Each structure stands twice: as C-alpha cells, then as structure tokens.
Chain A
Amino acid sequence: MFCKSILKNRAFTSSANRFLVQGANRQFGAMDLINYDLFDHKFTNDMEFRSSFDKLKCFRVLDEEGNVINKDYEGSIDDQTLQKMFKTMVMMNEADVVFNQAQRQSRISFYMTQLGEEAAGVGSAAGIKDHDLIFPQYREAGAFLWRGFSIQQMAHQLTGNVHDFGKGRQMPVHYGSNKHNIVTVSSPLCTQVPQASGAGYQFRISGQDRIAVTYFGEGAASEGDFHSALNFAATLRAQTMFFCRNNMYAISTPIDDQYAGDGIAVRGIAYGMPTIRVDGNDIFAIYNACKKGREMIIKEKRPVLIEAISYRVGDHSTSDFSQRYRDEKEMLKWKELLSKFKSPIHRLENYLLKRGLVKPEDSKQYRLEALNQVRDALKNANDQKKPSIDDMFNDVYDTVMPHLEDQRKQLKEHLKKYGEKYNLDTFQGGNAFANS
C-alpha cells in the first residue's frame, strides 16, 4: 500500500532510480521494488583494473575568511538562525576551555573537547529537525547545545551528580536526553551507527516525517559495524543520515594509517547512497548539506552520507597528550594544508561582521557571558550530591530482580558495619541507605 502511494507520487524519478519497478509476481527488494540496474551488467573488451577516480571535492560556501564564494547559498540561512549558530559555537568553545581546565584541576575526571570542530555539531543539528533522533559519538556536544540541552545539564553529567540524567553511571561527556531526542553516548566506537540504520528503517515503515542521524569519526568508520550499518540502511531503505566527522586523527592515528581509499565519502557511494563531502569548518556548507540531505531522505526513502572534513585541534581527550605524535616541528610541514581549516567560529564571525549581524564588541560580550555561565554551572554542579546508592542496582533490568535485591541488601549490611570507610555523605541519602 505504502510503496504504491510513493510510486504514484513519482518519488523515484531521479536518474539513480530509473530502473526501479514494482515486482509483478515476485516481491523482492526493499519496499518490494526490483532494482533491475543491479542485475544488468555490461561487457567490455578492455582489461582494466580500477583503483581510483577523481577525488571528491569538499562543498563549501564560505572561504577561510568568511566571504561567501557561492552566491546561491547567500541567503540560505536566516539572520536569527545565523546569530544562534554563532552564539552556540561560542558557548561550546568557552565550555570546552573551562571544562578541559576543570579536568586538570580534578574537578571532573575526564573531558573531550570539540575545538575546531564546533561547526559539525551545531551546523548539522540546525540543518535537521529537532524531532529527528540523533545517535551521537562523543564529539558532538554542539548538537546537544543547539537543541537546548543546557550547559548546566552538561555540568551535572560531567560531575556525575544527582541531577545527571545518566545517574552518574557513565564517564564524563556521555550525555543523553530523551527529551532532546539524543540517544545517550556510548564509549564502544561505532556501535551507534547500525542502530541509526534500524531507527531510520522504523521511521520509514511507520510513515514518519522523521530521520535518524548518526555521527562518527573517520576512525570509528573502520569498524565492522560501520560497513553493516551502511549496507543495511541502503538495502533496507532506512531514513538515516550518516554524518562523518573526518578530523584526520583517531587519537594518534592519522588518516593514512586509517584508510587508503578516498576517505569515508566514497564508501557511501559504494554502498549505494547519495553522498557529499563538505568543508567541515564551513557552517553554511554543513547546514545546507544536512538540510538538502534530509529532504532527499524523506522524499526518496533512502539514506544519505555526509563527510565533513575538519581537523582535531585539541588533544583527543584529557588522557591524551597530542604533542607526542604531532609536535610543532612536525606540524609546520602541514601548515599550508591546515590553513584551509581555519576555525569555523572565526569564519562565521567574519561573515556576520561583514553583514553587520554582529558588532566587533558583541563577540567579546558573548564570550564573557558564556564563560560566566559555564563557570557558574560547574560550580553549582560540583556542589551537588552524588546520586543515590540505590541507583547502582536500578535499571539493570526494568525492575530490580531478586538477585540484585539480594546484593543490594548485602551492600547495606556491609555499610552498616563499615560505613565510615566510604564517603557516604557525598551520596544522596547515603547514610540512610546504609542504615535502612
């Protein structure tokens, strides 16, 4: 029923789909559409091994100094959205600096910045819809901020206090929020990507105007899960957007140890989905690619892949010291190459200045406001209690099973005798737990 109505709507008139025909007697292929193109082969007398084709170029709208070089997209983002983008990126940047420092001062146990990659999270979240379900990696806090997940909420998660939605169970930066349609971050790499294929499939078969968007690094894209995810989404026609942040490094591993082909984008094409490579430091390019990509996903009922090329400016995490594998001397060699990847904030700011949408003094003001807000949030978060000890045993299953009830009792018995050996006070109702 569903697929017939789509055919009638002539959704499949794009050239890539011209061979799609509805099966007559047999029904096979996703949506019961036979893709004759795949069965049909042409022949040649030339023995030619192909190993390359033209390298995919990065789509960009703004140049390094924030000039619009592609006038078609000049008015593609309204002024209010542009201002919100700028403020959100500034906020993200200040938060990164403060939280990173806080880890050095042992106020939080771990942190990961998005320095230099602010446009990816913010621009993509702006280009899709707020009810689209995001499956993040960990360097997309900008998308959280864009959707209204507050700095305070971040600070609660980073300190693992009683207000953390994740109940203090996961390491810092493992944010997640049902209300904001962002699935909780998980440390094992790339596991979220095939999950986004499944969710995108569900959105199609239930007829929703909704997509699943998943983020991942070019390193994570080496995992088997990545390949399954793309193949599943393409063959099963999932409403899924794959957003790769290619920042040229996976911890110490540079991209030439990660792949020998043309990056990640080429894999999208290989698996049969519309794909674009964008300048990851150009928020105009990211926003427009995501907006257009989303339209295609909904209209054509197929996944899309976007590869955003950027550079990881900071350390991988607070556990990393990147000068070990890219010291200053080494980086001089890359100077020219990296000059193409000027801070996305700087680029948008220059554009906004030229348009008069921000004034020179605004930027300083935004930064100051953001800094104060982040500091207050962190202070407030640090003052809160840790979650209730009960929460160690909750949520393993939908209810606390008898064996866990038993273990909880054992812990209480233990704390009755040895309570003073643990910092019970720092936990919400900690003493009461031990004495109940």
Chain B
Amino acid sequence: MQQDMENFDFSDKLNVKELKLKNPQNLQKMNLCATIADALDIALKTDPSSVIFGEDVKFGGVFRCTQGLNEKYGTDRVFNTPLSEQGIAGFAIGLASSGANAIAEIQFADYIFPAFDQIVNEAAKYRYRSGNEFDCGKLTFRSPSGAVGHGALYHSQSPEAYFAHTPGLITVVPRSPVQAKGLLLSSIRNNNPVLFFEPKILYRIAEEEVPVEDYEIPLMKAEVLKEGTDLTIISWGTQLRQVRMAVAMAEKEFDVSCEIIDLRTIFPYDEETVLQSVKKTGKCIVTHEAPISGGFGAELAAKIQEKCFLHLEAPVRRVCGYDTPFPLVFETFYLPDRFKILEAIKETVKY
C-alpha cells in the first residue's frame, strides 16, 4: 500500500485564499508528523493556557508528534500521563472546563474506547446538560488512526463514525500536512470538543511545502479537490489517496470525469458542498476504510438520497471495509483499495 502511494503525485495547489496566508512565499518542506508538531508548537506559543499531554508525550510521543515541545515549554504544559485513556479524557475535560486549552493525545485511535464514556457521555453533553453554565469546548483529542499495512485489529481502526454519532462532538480527519496544520489549529481554537484523527500511515510519507505562519482551515467545510462532471466521490484522510489513484486510472481508461470531495470535518459536515456536487453529477460514491455497515458513508448516502433523489441517476455506492475486524495478513483484501474504487466507478457510470 505504502509503495503504491509513494509513486503517485498527491500534491495540492496551495489554497492561499482559504488559508488567508499573509506570507504564501514562506514555505517549508514538512511531513505530516512535523506539521502536527508545528501546529502544537504554535498552539502553545499563542495560547498560554494550552497544555498537551498523554501517554509518552513528554519524550515526543511514539510517533514523534510532540517532539521538542517539552524541552521548549516545560513539564507543566507538556507532560506524560499515567497509562489510562479514561483518565486522560476525564482529566482533559476537567482542564478544559476550568480554564485551560486541553490538547490530549490518545496514543492510537484503537485505544480510545476506555475513554468513550468520558468523551460521549461527558465531553459531548457538558454544555447541554448544564444549560450552558459549563462547557469543555477548549478540548481537543488527537489520535492516530487508520490502516498502516501491518497494524492488524488494534492499530488500524478508523473509529470516526462512533463519534460522529454523538451530538456535541466535532470529528475531523485531515488528508495532508498543509491540511493537518490548519485544521488542527482550528480544532484547538474551536469552542467545542473536537476529535482529530490523524492518518498515521501518512505521518512520514506525506510530505509537502507547508506555510510557516500560523493559519487556520475552517471546520465544517468540505473541499472540492478536483472538479468533474459525471460522478462525485466523497472521502477523507488516507482513503483520498486511493480515490485519486482510482480516478487517474479511470479517466485514463475510459471517458469519465470525476469530482473528488474531501469531507475534512466528518461531522457536522458541509452538506452544501456535498449536495451541490451530487446534484450536478447525478452519481455518487462514498468510500472509507471503516466497516461498511453503520459507517459514516451510510449517513452520507441516506442524506444524499433524501436531498438529491430526483437528481440521482444511479444508486449511491459505498466502497468500504468489510464488516470484519481489521485482519493482519488479509489487509490488502480488506481495504477498499483503488481497484475496488475503479470497479465501482465503472459500474456507477454505466448504471
């Protein structure tokens, strides 16, 4: 999987307007991991109330995303926690509700479940249940998620749909270094609890010129990555790479023009951009790594058929993981890879 991706050009044109860049010339080549560290550095620098913590965070984190921050900002602000995700989440809520800007790391998204109660029953409902007397909006959970080629059941999951199902939470998944920096800074500065899932396979292999300055990318806003006329493909995170490779193959192989949308914020998502596109093309594929049944693709498909019914010329097609745990040696079969997407494009266009 990694090798396929290394041979394809995924670079984006810098969207100077959206990023509201003051110094668009001032760029630095960085991978996804380094941009996360950079965004965290800016968050610590610009907001003295911000704190960063989690398992092994002090020495830089097992993925090195907090590298150098402890040395720079001290152990009160960048620290190790004992090994307990429910502890991290509850502690984070306490910090956020009492004046800090809490940025918590859950070492792997697969290990967020001990924290599920604190996130879903507490963080998500803090504002609502108190009549807005209290909130924990200054709260961000960062966590690496998704397939890596050898992660198996517990180092591969994409749990975004669980959190998208919870009113009160914002769920974000970036696709690239430039996106990650702007979206993470927006997440940290947003006044609602945000779950920020980082596609960990991209930490090292996704590298591009990233603006050095402090910039934000709006949440709840999708991005049209490529315009097209025949078919809309919606995805997020690493999976967009599979989409881009599949679209390149399809457009080379036969006469088709695909529009690609990066949802970016999974929920609450940018309905307008999604619906507008599908109304234009009349056909849609949604694709994500997580299991198909009850995945976020199901919500999108339902919304699209509800709002675009008369525009649709084919059923909304989902290309997703199977309804099995994520299996080690079968990963290549399990994943909704570019060949499965290519086939879905053919069938949907032909429909």
Complex contact B87–A224 (CB within 8 A): yes
Asked if B150 is at the interface of the complex by the 8 Å CB criterion, the answer is: yes
Asked if A353 is at the interface of the complex by the 8 Å CB criterion, the answer is: no
Bound-state Cα–Cα, A253 to B59, Å: 8
Bound-state Cα–Cα, A160 to B331, Å: 12
Complex contact B328–A169 (CB within 8 A): yes
Q: For the complex formed, measure the closest distance between the CB of A394 and the CB atoms of chain B, giving whole angstroms.
A: 9
Q: Which of A199-207, A339-347, A358-366, A403-411 contacts B (4 or more CB under 8 A)?
A: A403-411
Q: Chain A 109-128, CB within 8 Å of chain B: the 1/0 string?
A: 11000000000000000000
Kindly list chain A residues whose C-beta atoms are within 8 Å of the C-beta of B327. 168-169, 391-392
Kindly list chain B residues whose C-beta atoms are within 8 Å of the C-beta of A407. 292, 322-323
Task: Specify the chain A residue showing the minimal Cβ separation from B338.
Answer: A421
Asked if B155 is at the interface of the complex by the 8 Å CB criterion, the answer is: yes
Bound-state Cα–Cα, A187 to B156, Å: 12
Kindly list chain B residues whose C-beta atoms are within 8 Å of the C-beta of A415. 333
Q: Chain B 143-167, CB within 8 Å of chain A: the 1/0 string?
A: 0000000111111000000000000
Task: Specify the chain B residue showing the minimal Cβ separation from A219.
Answer: B83
Complex contact B113–A224 (CB within 8 A): no
Q: For the complex formed, measure the closest distance between the CB of A168 and the CB atoms of chain B, giving whole angstroms.
A: 4
Asked if A84 is at the interface of the complex by the 8 Å CB criterion, the answer is: no
Bound-state Cα–Cα, A219 to B56, Å: 11
Task: Specify the chain A residue showing the minimal Cβ separation from B152.
Answer: A171
Q: Which of B40-67 contact A (CB under 8 A)?
A: 55-56, 58-60, 62
Bound-state Cα–Cα, A199 to B54, Å: 32
Complex contact A252–B114 (CB within 8 A): no
Q: Chain A 361-375, CB within 8 Å of chain B: the 1/0 string?
A: 000000000000000
Contact of A109 among B150, B325, B332, B334 (CB under 8 A): B150
Q: For the complex formed, measure the closest distance between the CB of A158 and the CB atoms of chain B, giving whole angstroms.
A: 11
Complex contact A223–B114 (CB within 8 A): yes
Q: For the complex formed, measure the closest distance between the CB of A264 and the CB atoms of chain B, giving whole angstroms.
A: 12
Kindly list chain B residues whose C-beta atoms are within 8 Å of the C-beta of A187. 110, 152-155
Q: Which of B296-351 contact A (CB under 8 A)?
A: 322-325, 327-330, 332-334, 339-340, 343
Complex contact B333–A324 (CB within 8 A): no
Q: Chain A 219-236, CB within 8 Å of chain B: the 1/0 string?
A: 110111100000000000
Q: Chain A 227-265, CB within 8 Å of chain B: the 1/0 string?
A: 000000000000000000000001111000111000000
Q: For the complex formed, measure the closest distance between the CB of A227 and the CB atoms of chain B, giving whole angstroms.
A: 10
Kindly list chain A residues whose C-beta atoms are within 8 Å of the C-beta of B73. none
Q: Which of A160-174 contact B (CB under 8 A)?
A: 160, 168-171, 174
A188-B154 contact, Cβ under 8 Å, with A252-B56, A411-B333: yes
Kindly list chain A residues whose C-beta atoms are within 8 Å of the C-beta of B113. 188
Complex contact B82–A403 (CB within 8 A): no
Complex contact A404–B323 (CB within 8 A): yes
A414-B339 contact, Cβ under 8 Å, with A109-B150, A168-B330, A324-B60: yes
Q: For the complex formed, measure the closest distance between the CB of B332 and the CB atoms of chain A, giving whole angstroms.
A: 6
Kindly list chain A residues whose C-beta atoms are within 8 Å of the C-beta of B86. 223-224
Bound-state Cα–Cα, A258 to B327, Å: 32
Complex contact A251–B56 (CB within 8 A): yes
Q: Which of B64-114 contact A (CB under 8 A)?
A: 80-87, 110-111, 113-114
Q: Which of B114-171 contact A (CB under 8 A)?
A: 114, 150-155
Asked if A389 is at the interface of the complex by the 8 Å CB criterion, the answer is: yes
Kindly list chain A residues whose C-beta atoms are within 8 Å of the C-beta of B56. 250-253
Complex contact A251–B333 (CB within 8 A): no
A417-B59 contact, Cβ under 8 Å, with A168-B330, A224-B86, A393-B324: no
Kindly list chain B residues whose C-beta atoms are within 8 Å of the C-beta of A224. 84, 86-87, 114
In this complex, the member of A219, A253, A387 whose beta carbon has the largest number of chain B beta carbons within 10 angstroms is A253
Task: Specify the chain B residue showing the minimal Cβ separation from A174.
Answer: B152
Kindly list chain A residues whose C-beta atoms are within 8 Å of the C-beta of B325. 169, 396
Asked if B293 is at the interface of the complex by the 8 Å CB criterion, the answer is: yes
Complex contact A257–B58 (CB within 8 A): yes
Asked if A28 is at the interface of the complex by the 8 Å CB criterion, the answer is: no
Kindly list chain B residues whose C-beta atoms are within 8 Å of the C-beta of A320. 62
Contact of B82 among A257, A389, A393, A427 (CB under 8 A): A257
In this complex, the member of B59, B322, B329, B334 whose beta carbon has the largest number of chain A beta carbons within 10 angstroms is B329
Asked if A189 is at the interface of the complex by the 8 Å CB criterion, the answer is: yes
Kindly list chain A residues whose C-beta atoms are within 8 Å of the C-beta of B151. 171
Complex contact A171–B328 (CB within 8 A): yes
Asked if A350 is at the interface of the complex by the 8 Å CB criterion, the answer is: no
Q: For the complex formed, measure the closest distance between the CB of B131 and the CB atoms of chain A, giving whole angstroms.
A: 30
Complex contact A168–B328 (CB within 8 A): yes
Task: Specify the chain B residue showing the minimal Cβ separation from A217.
Answer: B83
Task: Specify the chain A residue showing the minimal Cβ separation from B86.
Answer: A224
A170-B152 contact, Cβ under 8 Å, with A251-B62, A252-B59, A393-B322: yes
Asked if A186 is at the interface of the complex by the 8 Å CB criterion, the answer is: yes
Asked if A325 is at the interface of the complex by the 8 Å CB criterion, the answer is: yes
Kindly list chain A residues whose C-beta atoms are within 8 Å of the C-beta of B152. 169-171, 174, 187
Complex contact B83–A220 (CB within 8 A): yes
Kindly list chain B residues whose C-beta atoms are within 8 Å of the C-beta of A258. 82-83
Bound-state Cα–Cα, A225 to B114, Å: 9
Kindly list chain B residues whose C-beta atoms are within 8 Å of the C-beta of A109. 150, 328
Bound-state Cα–Cα, A225 to B332, Å: 34
Q: For the complex formed, measure the closest distance between the CB of A196 and the CB atoms of chain B, giving whole angstroms.
A: 17
Complex contact B80–A257 (CB within 8 A): yes
Kindly list chain A residues whose C-beta atoms are within 8 Å of the C-beta of B84. 222-224
Asked if A53 is at the interface of the complex by the 8 Å CB criterion, the answer is: no
Q: Which of A400-430 contact B (CB under 8 A)?
A: 403-404, 407, 411, 414-415, 417-418, 421-423, 427
Contact of A422 among B150, B328, B332 (CB under 8 A): B332
Contact of B329 among A222, A325, A387, A418 (CB under 8 A): A387
Bound-state Cα–Cα, A15 to B55, Å: 41
Bound-state Cα–Cα, A415 to B330, Å: 13
Bound-state Cα–Cα, A396 to B111, Å: 20
Complex contact B58–A252 (CB within 8 A): yes
Can you list 28 contacts pairing A with B, beta carbon distance less than 8 Å? Answer: A109-B150, A110-B150, A168-B329, A169-B328, A170-B153, A174-B152, A186-B154, A187-B110, A187-B153, A188-B111, A189-B111, A219-B83, A222-B83, A250-B56, A251-B55, A252-B58, A253-B80, A257-B82, A319-B62, A387-B329, A389-B333, A392-B322, A392-B324, A396-B325, A407-B322, A407-B323, A411-B322, A422-B333
A-B CB proximity, top 4 nearest:
A187-B154, A168-B329, A222-B82, A392-B330
Interface residues of B (CB under 8 A from A): 55-56, 58-60, 62, 80-87, 110-111, 113-114, 150-155, 292-293, 322-325, 327-330, 332-334, 339-340, 343
Further pairs besides A188-B110, A403-B323: 17, Cβ < 8 Å: A109-B328, A160-B328, A160-B329, A168-B330, A169-B327, A170-B328, A171-B151, A171-B154, A187-B155, A222-B83, A222-B84, A224-B87, A252-B59, A252-B80, A253-B83, A407-B292, A415-B333
